[in-house]
């Protein structure tokens, strides 16, 4: 072994029989289940709750992609308190999409949708964030064991999110129409207020 190559003592303790094997021999080694966490991604977090049209700012957070054995999850923790804001995992019914430096995650719970907006610092972090969520939440076992059911679930999630978006747009249009009608009424009533006192 060359001078420049160092052996991590922690790895030696995890797999002690590695040293006894000749270098040129390919022997499968059983590695114990390990917990791996990726680099933290700082984000600003907004939430839009069911039946609400406006986003609420929750604060700054740290997003972490954690892998334990064969399962993974994306954890969003408050940057100040360290408390978990939300977790995205394989059991989550969600749809994630990139919008600029934002990743918008629509989580479906029955017919209700909770939307999370995670604003990363740059495009690179945004792409990493989107990939982490999609990897952690991909129902791989379901896709392999029952592909038809997997497709059905994906379509249902898309349908619920689309319906929620349609309702929000309709509510916004109705509000704008009411504001427009009210402003026209006010303009029509204004000349009545300008009647001179001497009449």
Angle at 82 between CA 81 and CA 84, to 5 degrees: 115
Per-residue pLDDT of the chain (199 residues; tens, 9 = 90+): 444 444 444 444 444 444 444 444 454 444 444 445 567 999 999 999 988 888 999 999 999 988 887 788 999 999 999 999 999 998 888 899 999 999 999 999 888 899 999 999 999 999 999 999 988 887 666 666 677 776 787 888 888 888 888 888 888 887 788 888 887 776 655 555 554 455 4
CA 61/CA 118 separation, integer angstroms:
9
Residue 53 C-beta-side C-alpha neighbours within 13 Å: 10
Residue 84 lies inside a defined structural domain of this protein: yes
* Domain region containing 95: 35-150
What are the backbone dihedrals phi and psi of residue 80, each rounded to the nearest 5 degrees, phi first? -90, -50
Angle at 24 between CA 22 and CA 26, to 5 degrees: 90
Residue 103: exposure state from Cβ atoms within 10 A (0-12, 13-18, ≥19)? buried
Residue 131 lies inside a defined structural domain of this protein: yes
Q: Do 56 and 45 meet the contact criterion of CB atoms below 8 Å apart?
A: no
Q: Parallel, antiparallel, or unpaired for β 94-99 and 84-89?
A: unpaired
Residue 97 lies inside a defined structural domain of this protein: yes
Residue 173 lies inside a defined structural domain of this protein: no
pLDDT at 74: 94
Q: What is the CATH number of the domain that holds 64?
A: 2.30.29.30
Residue 16 lies inside a defined structural domain of this protein: no
Residue 96 lies inside a defined structural domain of this protein: yes
Residue 56 lies inside a defined structural domain of this protein: yes
Count other C-beta atoms under 10 Å from residue 168's C-beta.
16
Quote the number of domains for the chain. Answer: 1
pTM for this one? 0.63
pLDDT at 139: 67
Count, residues in the chain: 199
Residue among 193, 71, 77 at smallest CA distance from 141:
71
pLDDT at 125: 94
Residue 127 lies inside a defined structural domain of this protein: yes
CA 178/CA 189 separation, integer angstroms:
17
């Amino acid at each position: 072994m060359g001078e420049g190559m160092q052996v991590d003592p922690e790895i030696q303790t995890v797999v002690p029989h590695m040293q006894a094997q000749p270098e040129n021999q390919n022997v499968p080694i059983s590695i114990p289940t390990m917990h791996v966490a990726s680099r933290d991604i700082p984000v600003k977090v907004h939430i839009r709750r069911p039946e609400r049209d406006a986003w609420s700012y929750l604060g700054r957070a740290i997003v972490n992609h954690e892998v334990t054995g064969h399962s993974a999850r994306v954890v969003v923790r408050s940057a100040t308190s360290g408390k978990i804001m939300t977790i995205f995992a394989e059991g989550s019914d969600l749809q994630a999409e990139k919008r600029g430096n934002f990743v918008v995650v629509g989580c479906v719970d029955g017919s209700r949708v909770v939307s999370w907006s995670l604003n990363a610092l740059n495009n690179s972090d945004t792409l990493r964030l989107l990939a982490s969520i999609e990897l952690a939440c991909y129902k791989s076992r379901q896709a392999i064991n029952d592909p038809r059911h997997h497709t059905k679930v994906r379509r249902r999630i898309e349908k619920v999110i689309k319906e929620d978006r349609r309702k929000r747009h309709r509510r916004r249009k109705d509000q704008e129409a009411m504001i427009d009608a009210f402003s026209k009424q006010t303009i029509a009533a204004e000349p009545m207020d300008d009647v001179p006192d001497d009449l």
